[in-house]
């Protein structure tokens, strides 16, 4: 009985059923491309993290006096295979001036972290996909901008 009703309905409303079929096909194509894109991105992230040698955990410590305590604890921990220590300089945005004026007085709680290129714990990639090995003296490499910026120390002004 239901099959007969369905057959009659399909014969009468052929145009509407064709439009529904097209929409169903388009929706399934969009879903499959989205799933494919998610799969590509997640597998690419894993391979990128492997190439960049990104650690499983990343921690900052600004307490210089506890540096040796941290090293001793990490060396003696059985769950830790390897650890790396990088030195960095951090400063609040209120400490940075440009032509005698504060850099950005609207948000003084932001911090600027400068890292040396001597002991980089992870690999940083340039635009040409090569690994950043060093930065010329007097310049910094800003990864967000993707450029090398020349910095002139105040003592040279």
Could you report the per-residue pLDDT of 127-136, keeping only the tens digit for each?
A: 788 888 887 7
Is residue 18 one of the residues assigned to a domain?
A: yes
Which of 7-11, 16-20, 38-42, 117-121 is modeled with the greatest confidence? 38-42
Q: What percent of the chain has pLDDT over 90?
A: 8
**Residue 73: inside a domain:** no
**95 or 42, which is more confident:** 42
Q: Tell me whether residue 117 is in a domain.
A: no
Residue 116 CB contacts under 8 Å (≥ 6 apart), including other chains: 86, 87, 88
Q: Quick one: pLDDT at residue 146?
A: 44
Please check whether residue 25 lies inside any domain of the structure: yes
> Does any domain span residue 27?
yes
Q: How far is CA 92 from the centre of its chain?
A: 22
Distance CA 36, CA 118 (A): 40
CA–CA separation, 36 vs 19, rounded Å? 26
Triad 120, 59, 153: Cα angle to 5°? 50
Considering the domain boundaries, does residue 37 fall inside one?
yes
Compute the distance between CA of residue 122 and CA of residue 131 in angstroms, rounded to an integer: 10
Which domain covers residue 45, as residue numbers? 2-52
Domain membership flag for residue 36: yes
**What would you measure as the largest C-alpha separation in the chain, in angstroms?**
93
Would residue 29 count as lying in a domain? yes
Which pLDDT value is given to residue 55? 80
Overall domain count for the chain = 2
């Amino acid at each position: 009985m239901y099959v007969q009703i369905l057959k009659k309905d399909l014969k009468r409303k052929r145009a509407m059923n064709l439009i529904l079929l097209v929409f169903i096909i388009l929706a399934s194509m969009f879903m499959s491309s989205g799933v494919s894109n998610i799969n590509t991105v997640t597998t690419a992230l894993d391979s990128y993290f492997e190439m960049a040698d990104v650690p499983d955990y990343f921690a900052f410590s600004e307490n210089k006096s506890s540096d040796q305590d941290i090293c001793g604890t990490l060396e003696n921990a059985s769950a830790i295979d390897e650890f790396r220590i990088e030195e960095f300089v951090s400063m609040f945005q209120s400490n940075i001036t440009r032509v005698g004026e504060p850099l950005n007085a609207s948000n003084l709680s932001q911090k600027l972290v400068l890292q040396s290129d001597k002991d980089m714990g992870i690999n940083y990639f340039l635009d040409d996909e090569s690994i950043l090995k060093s930065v010329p003296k007097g310049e910094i490499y800003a990864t967000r901008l993707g450029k090398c910026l020349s910095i002139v120390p105040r003592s040279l002004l």
